Structure 1
């Protein structure tokens, strides 16, 4: 079965009620745009996508080899809008799903009663599975439609658009919330490191303990590997952002830059990977204890220095 048919079956299958108002890639409509481009290029006729646009001399723009100025404005702007909405919907739904797992205070107390409700854990797992299927199916749709675009126009504009999505932090399969969701599924299933979490026919998760990596397998033999070994520790990140560990990275100023990519304004959207932290604690005990111990020691050191300065300031002020 072709992917277009599979995608339409997915949209009108069990997820139709679950998706509700969530956006999805208009794969069928975008594919029709490319079909018109292919036809007008082969016949060397004006592209009728959007009824064409006029040049200065009154003639219609043609679908050129490397790009189609007639359809590009609609094609890429619409795809960017859809990807942004999908990423936003996915992130908010996953954040809500995982909230109780790291709840504190009275929320943690309420959570203790959750096992009393029949199938509570199974419902969480089912929602997690549907969210993972939602983001992976749309990510595959985006990849395929961009590949078709480059094939029709003989260009690399589709690949460049994927790079732009990564720069805008809306590359769906690179979302930190997807990694959190994968860790949640593995933690909930209690699988051994050698086992593979078969979530659906479209994807699966596997944790490779030997190199601390989360591996996601997609349909079409596509594999994504998420390296869980941090390029920089939390204490160094906080130091680069000029904040204390106990304050958190979200307290960083908007002009603070990432010490790795040097991009400014990234800390406001930082995600504390609590569920992934739990997975590492279970599967990589020595690594987790070493990192958490170093972080704890640095936090105590910073706290002592902070309160020493506050005390000296207050004494001097008085």
Structure 2
């Protein structure tokens, strides 16, 4: 089955859920028709050219019809999909790792209904939603470049990266993968084969998570960070106990040197839990080191505050 047919079948199957949740999707079928119209129009205009006989594809450097339809719409659709996915996963995982009185309420509800099963089902739906739309986006951009013999479609991915709306590189997708691995006692989370397959290698020096998509695309997520929490806080002139979100808007990331990234930091609780349960010795050492450093920084901070007040 071609992807266009599979995507249409998926949308029909999830129609009720999508209408209820008011979520958007990549308009793959309509955009493909626009490409077909553009290609047919160009062939008609070039039918008298000998060059056309050598290449049946549109050679225009810019196609107003496609450019207006594609890149303005796709950036909005991708942004809306990313925002919806992130918010839904955040809510789902918040229920799973709830604390305090909310944790008590969640546990009480479990006496009357199987919340764990409901959470797992919603997670599967969200994974298929982000995966199918990501595949649709990749394929329609590839087709755009093929029709126009351009690299605009490929360059569009760079724009998505710059605006941080890449569908398959959200930290919330990694959190969702950790959620499945935490729910499963083995090293792999099977999602019924249709939705994909999560697995992980928690070697402390080369920790990574793998996601295989429905189209057999394999994605590797490196779980090791190029900068530790202490250095990240130091770069933003923060104490560890203050947290990254306390950084000023002008603070720059020590890696990419961009501003405004600290406010978008995600505390990955599911990934923390995964490491805590499967790398116990490493986790104990890491927590001990962090506590020593936090205690030292706290003493220095309050000492400086007292000196300033005096």
Which residue is equivalent to 2:16? 17
* Equivalent position SS for 2:198: strand
Q: How many residues align?
A: 296
Which residue is equivalent to 2:50? none
Contact conserved, 2:276 with 2:283, CA < 8 A, in 1?
yes
TM-score where L is the length of structure 2: 0.90
Deviation (angstroms), 1:108: 2.0
Matched, 1:207 2:213: no
Which residue is equivalent to 1:40? 41
Tell which deviates more after alignment, 214-223 or 145-154: 214-223
Deviation (angstroms), 1:212: 1.2
Pairing of 1:1-318 with structure 2 (within 5 A): 1-13=1-13, 15-19=14-18, 20-44=21-45, 64-190=59-185, 192-193=186-187, 195-210=188-203, 211-314=206-309, 316=310
For residues 85 and 301 of structure 1, what CA distance do their matches in structure 2 show? 43
Contact conserved, 1:254 with 1:264, CA < 8 A, in 2?
yes
Deviation (angstroms), 1:299: 1.3
Provide closer, same or farther for how the CA distance between residues 77 and 127 of structure 1 changes in structure 2, counting only shifts above 3 A.
same
Instruction: Note the aligned Cα RMSD (angstroms).
Output: 1.7
Runs of 4+ in structure 1 off by over 4 angstroms are: none
Deviation (angstroms), 1:45: 6.1
For residues 114 and 189 of structure 2, what CA distance do their matches in structure 1 show? 23
TM-score where L is the length of structure 1: 0.88
Deviation (angstroms), 1:117: 2.4
Tell which deviates more after alignment, 231-240 or 65-74: 65-74
Deviation (angstroms), 1:112: 2.5
* Equivalent position SS for 2:168: helix
* Equivalent position SS for 2:120: helix
Deviation (angstroms), 1:296: 2.0
For residues 33 and 291 of structure 2, what CA distance do their matches in structure 1 show? 56
Contact conserved, 1:186 with 1:197, CA < 8 A, in 2?
no
Give structure 2 stretches of 5+ with no counterpart.
48-57
